[in-house]
Amino acid sequence: MRRREFSKALLTCSLAPCAGLAQNFESSVLSVDDLPELVGDISLYLGRGEGGLYENVLRAISDRNPKLTLNIRRGPTAALANAIVAERGAGIRRADVFWAVDAGAIGLVVDQGIAEPLPSELVKQLRPNYRYRDWLPVSGRIRTLPFNTNAVGIEQIPQSIMSVPEQGLKLGWAPEYASFQSFITAMRFLEGNEATSEWLLKVNSLAKRYAGELGVVMGVERGEVDVGFANHYYTLRLKAGKPNARLGLAFTRGDSGCLVNASGVLALTSDKTVFDFIRYLFTREVQSYLSSEAFEIPLIDGVALPPGVPPLDSISPPAIDLTQLSDLRPTLDLMRELRVL
């Protein structure tokens, strides 16, 4: 149902009050009405993991642009990044756009030098510390510790990620999920491989494993585990649908446990339709939707933060550049070696 409402909102947005539209947008943020109609074929590689929410955005864009044929390949983000690199190695050009749920996978592709440089006015839309030449962060997400409010109080949760496994808490995690793997990459940079290995081994012996981080948060809410490792929005989405959920959100301080990561998009074909398609993702309507419905953090000025997210200056993310997260392969090798994967 939401999907239909959103399509309608995108189609008729100019005057009608949009669902979740930020109140104080600046004129610099484009509306879908300012964009040309998309015509032609686009092949999009879409990293899975966000359930139906990104699908809704894509459907709304397709509905608004009937002359656009949007072919979507879905897969786990790391697998798609790998496929793009392998395809290019074999001389196959299949993907035009890559929308990944995680900056690490984006970096993996960017490092190969196969991403097309993006038009500078597109890049300038983003907040200054989120500007890159070859890719654009679409929305931000914070690593958090969701906890069951019946089982533990927030004061029992340590402020350092490294001491979380020492507290005798029942833990839940999804080590196969791309965002988790990027969090481990950040931990490797900040704490070194040895400390990261010890941490992984400890958690591996304690934690219950889930297929994805929504599963982790659901497990925390059900009381299967006390504390989980997950991106912030899973908790907010679950609480939005179930206001009396026994769920709280804790943040560590200054370490990989509160890493701010981003979903990102890059172009593999230098083409006007492709760039215009990417422009759609940075319109007021799409960014507001991602903020209000998906609880993701908008990275362009003039779109309000999602409800329930503490002000960004109240959390203290580690000093890590998102492009450093592309060092994914050693992370995966480490996790494999420790039998975490």
Pairing of strands 230-231, 136-148: antiparallel
Residue whose CB is less far from another protein, 237 or 284? 237
DSSP state of 29: S
Of 29-37, 70-78, 113-121, 155-163, which part binds another protein (CB under 8 A)?
70-78
* Token code pair at residue 280: 């759609």
When the beta carbons of 86 and 195 are compared against another protein, the nearer one is 86
Residue with tokens 């359930």: 51
Give the count of residues interacting with another protein (CB under 8 A). Answer: 41
Q: Which of 165, 215, 228, 298 binds another protein (CB under 8 A)?
A: 215
Residues 233-262, mask of contacts with another protein (x by CB under 8 A): ------------------------------
Tokens of residue 136, six digits = 């654009």
Contact 21, 74 (CB under 8 A): no
CA proximity to 220, closest of 173, 167, 163, 157: 173
* Site track 153-192 with another protein (rule: CB under 8 A), x = hit: -----------------------x----------------
Q: Whose CA is closest to 63, among 37, 42, 41?
A: 37
- Candidate list 124, 127, 133, 222; residue touching another protein; CB under 8 A: 222
**Using CB under 8 A as the criterion, what x/- string covers residues 32-51 for binding another protein?**
-----------x----xxxx
CB 202 within 8 A of CB 123: no
Question: C-alpha dihedral over 333, 339, 340, 341, to 10 degrees?
Answer: 60
Residues that bind another protein (CB under 8 A): 1, 43, 48-52, 71-76, 78-79, 82, 86-87, 89-92, 94, 176, 209, 211-212, 214-215, 218, 221-224, 328-329, 332, 335-336, 339, 341
